[in-house]
Structure 1
Amino acid sequence: MKTLIRLFFRTLRIVLGPFMLLKERLSRPAALQRSAERQAEVDRQCTELALYQFKTCPFCIKVRQEIHALALPIQLLDAQHEGDNRSALKQGTGAYKVPCLRISDAQGRVQWLSESGAIVAYLRGRFVS
């Protein structure tokens, strides 16, 4: 029964995934405009951030839309498939839950922020002036 349920959701993801990505692309908000100096500072700060995500996860799409709206060059890391990104997410948070924002600082400390609403609130608070 468990295999049947997994097969159902995998098939659903394969069928609906392209439509979700198309909708994301077509409904992308306009990017925030900043002065060149301010954008350079934002770009520098974003080197400390990375978003672990699944391509067709609706909550990840919500966060990516906000990243685009705020004109943030945050590294997007696919954690859906086996590999280094998935392992790093599991090691850092203890789970494979996405979206998850990795926040590093100059001293090498790392914080992990999950939940799409919390990530969006953090990005707005940090980058909307």
Structure 2
Amino acid sequence: MLLGEIISRPKGLVRPAATQAKVDQACQSLVLYQYKTCPFCIKVRQEMSRLSLRIERLDAQPEGKNREDLLSGSGQTKVPCLKITDQAGNSQWMTDSSKIIAYLQGRFASDKALGV
């Protein structure tokens, strides 16, 4: 599965440097909780690659802090799960790969969405 992900990874969206810097800044408020071999997580990571998003990825499969944080934040250990933190420090937890992809596309796919 992981080899297939690498082979089929889409070429990333190329943006002007200033625009990519804004995108990178916005991505600092996002964290993807995932399992490395989960097909739905792979689907989200492929879209992140296509949109050239540098979102922190945390493996929540093994027992430990990442899994505990996912459970306490979202109420479940379902992945993929995107943690979205606003400027006030409030977090929203989004599960379902299709919803996560739609959110990422809506927020990052166009210059208009980026406020550029």
TM range (shorter): over 0.9
Match of 1:93 in 2: 74
Match of 2:16 in 1: 35
Structure 1 residues without counterparts, runs of 5 or longer: 1-19
RMSD: 0.4
SS at match of 2:94: strand
Match of 1:121 in 2: 102
Match of 2:87 in 1: 106
1:82 aligns with 2:63: yes
Name the CA distance, whole Å, in 1 between partners of 2:30 and 2:92.
10
Match of 1:9 in 2: none
1:71 aligns with 2:40: no
* AA aligned opposite 1:94: G
TM-score by length of 1: 0.85
User: In terms of Rg, which structure is larger?
Assistant: 1
Aligned residues: 110
Name the CA distance, whole Å, in 2 between partners of 1:126 and 1:80.
27
CA deviation after TM superposition for structure 1 residue 99, in Å: 0.1
* AA aligned opposite 1:109: N
CA deviation after TM superposition for structure 1 residue 93, in Å: 1.0
Asked which structure has the greater RCO (Cα within 8 Å, sep 6+), the reply is: 2
Name the CA distance, whole Å, in 2 between partners of 1:64 and 1:43.
16
More helix by share: 1
* AA aligned opposite 2:30: L
